[in-house]
Amino acid sequence: MNRPTITRTTCARIPTEFGEFKLCHYVNDHDHKEHLAVVMGDVSSAETAGKRAENGVLVRVHSECFTGDVLGSRRCDCGEQLARAMALIAAEGRGVIVYLRQEGRGIGLENKLRAYNLQDQGYDTVDANLMLGHQADEREYWAAAGILEDLGVTRVRLLTNNPAKIEHLRALGMDVQARVPIEPTVHADNAGYLETKVARMRHMLGMPVSGVETPAPVAGTAAPYASVLQGLRTRLAHHADTRRPFVTLSYAQSLDGSIAAQPGAPTRLSGPAAMAMTHALRAEHDAILVGIGTVLADNPRLTVRLVDGASPRPVVLDSKLRMPPDSHLMTHPAGVVIATNGHDGTRDRHLLGLGATLLQLPSTTAGQIDLHALLGSLAELGIHSVMVEGGAAVINSFLREQLVDYVLVTVAPVFLGGVHAVNAAVAAPSFPRLADVHTNTLGDDIIISGVPTWAAVPA
């Protein structure tokens, strides 16, 4: 899969208390953010005199933290990790710190400060992000991989406590040979923050976790939504139709059935526990499907971030090929699949050049993408299960074609009076009734799940 282009513009000598480094500046053609590389010594992994270096280069991928790196804030361990990385690299005589402009785990400085205020009210660092309408961690690492490749670094020993960095870099083709831990200093100002990173973000720290009620993020029996997952897994295990994938329809709605306050405006409905469940559900599927309207309105990532598990491959229904080349899904580590019944040679070539997989599909009599043909094509790609998340047009289409095998709806305790998930214009026989119904409560949300059954159409 092709990645955005990242280009080195210039470098300069930077003497520091740890020794002399070279600071290199990079720009990219995706989001136009500036990134940096702090380099010491010869870091190229290329063969020298016919002999490869035995050990990978010591590398720290560090996301910008103005409060910690510049002000020395004690709320986090970022500044300490940066200084420790520079010291370790200086001691070894060579290494790289990739400095990514991803303040606040990708949500920006303003929202990071708002999250701090929520943390002071008792919310942890994960829930604070979710309450602001963001993911727990919105960072991406394609820029880091591009910078390391530009520097000739192919084998690394990664200075990190975060397994997600290792997973992302490996998915991007980097040879991460080992993890080098950086143990933080734990004190009253950062203990809760660090405990949350261990309990909810899988960080590998040698510290006991006490007083954190939220279970470790695993998609297994310890999670509060374990029974929901088990119901799905039972159905997946008994799906024997190899001609098309198992289809789970899952979305969140208000008490009045709205999935958004108004068309084209993303509305967060699920609470933190239900959001974690949604990520666990994603990890159970091979693919996740949305319509182009969702992409244009939300620019979603559709990755698994809040629990341990692999991210499903994104599939986008896009009849007119409106997929933005700079959308998050175009850099998804699993590679995006764009399903269309339209054709535009220039757009086709451009999207293919960016690494997308295009499925040219037949149309229905109404001019829509033939979903039966789509599922057959996905099966040919080795996709055995698909999670359909929306939006409303997609939900209605799958219900109308009776292509849903399992339904899971999160109901939030709020009235919106907005865009309804199910359109009254759809013929009544297209609406199923659920059998084998289960209800669960996660926080303030109610989870309703079951197997859809359609009434026979009268002769």
What does residue 440 show for φ and ψ, rounded to 5 degrees?
A: -135, 155
What residue has token string 């598990």?
Answer: 309
DSSP state of 54: S
Of 139, 244, 347, 400, the active-site residue reads 139
Closest alpha carbon to 377 in 387, 366, 386, 368? 386
Q: Which amino acid is at 86?
A: M
Radius of gyration of the chain (CA): 24
- The CA-atom distances, in angstroms, between 86 and each of 55, 177, 392, 413 are 18, 20, 50, 49
Q: Pull the structure tokens for residue 37.
A: 């590389």
- The CA-atom distances, in angstroms, between 71 and each of 83, 135, 354 are 13, 25, 39
Asked about 137 being catalytic, the answer comes back as yes
Q: Which amino acid is at 364?
A: T
Closest alpha carbon to 283 in 221, 222, 205, 220? 220
Strand partners, 363: 369
Asked about 139 being catalytic, the answer comes back as yes
Of 77, 124, 127, 137, the active-site residue reads 137
Which positions ≥6 away from 437 have C-beta within 8 Å?
448, 449, 450
Do residues 18 and 86 make contact, with C-beta atoms less than 8 angstroms apart? yes
Closest alpha carbon to 341 in 361, 321, 367, 357? 361
Strands of the 445-453 sheet, one edge to the other: 357-360, 337-340, 313-317, 287-291, 385-390, 246-253, 406-411, 445-453, 433-442
Indicate the pairing of strand 337-340 with strand 357-360.
parallel
Alpha helices in 202-271 (DSSP H): 226-237
Distance, in Å, from the CA atom of 135 to the CA atom of 392, rounded to the nearest integer, reads 22
Angle (CA) 47 50 52, round 5°: 45
Catalytic residues: 137, 139
